[in-house]
Amino acid sequence: MKKFLKILAAILAVIVLFSAVMTMVLSQGLKAGSNLEINGIDLSSVKDGVYNGKYDAGRFSNQLNVTVKDHKITKIEIVKDVTFASAAVSEAVFTKVIEEQKIQFDAIAGATVTSKAYLKAIENAFGQK
């Protein structure tokens, strides 16, 4: 019986440790991302080309290539995605940026921090921090 209790205690310790590690991983960058301020971008003086922007904040870190033609964002490509990526979220954010030609808008519901992380990487691509 003692052996069984030791094994059970060891299993419970592993579960608790795993849970603590997962909580740390999942929350890494969450607070900073929730409070992240997105500034506007002015494309009027941006030359045609591909600009690389990144945002570093735990699991929300990402890197994007932003293509500009005739002072308009025409394409956004993911170089390095957030840890728990969703194609639907990135597509919705990038489509909105391209359609509206701005990065200041309400984040995608249910993916606020991820949306802000992408928007900050776009902002950073143009050095407007």
Which tens digits make up the pLDDT trace of 26-83?
Answer: 556 666 667 788 998 999 989 999 999 999 988 899 999 999 999 999 999 999 999 8
> What confidence tier does 129 reach under pLDDT thresholds 50, 70, 90?
very low
Structure tokens at 37: 């301020």
Domain 31-125 has CATH 3.90.1010.20: yes
Q: Treating both helix axes as pointing N-terminal to C-terminal, what angle do 112-125 and 87-100 enclose, rounded to 10 degrees?
A: 50
Where in the chain are the domains?
A: 31-125
- Closest listed residue to residue 116, CA positions, set 104, 128, 127, 125: 104
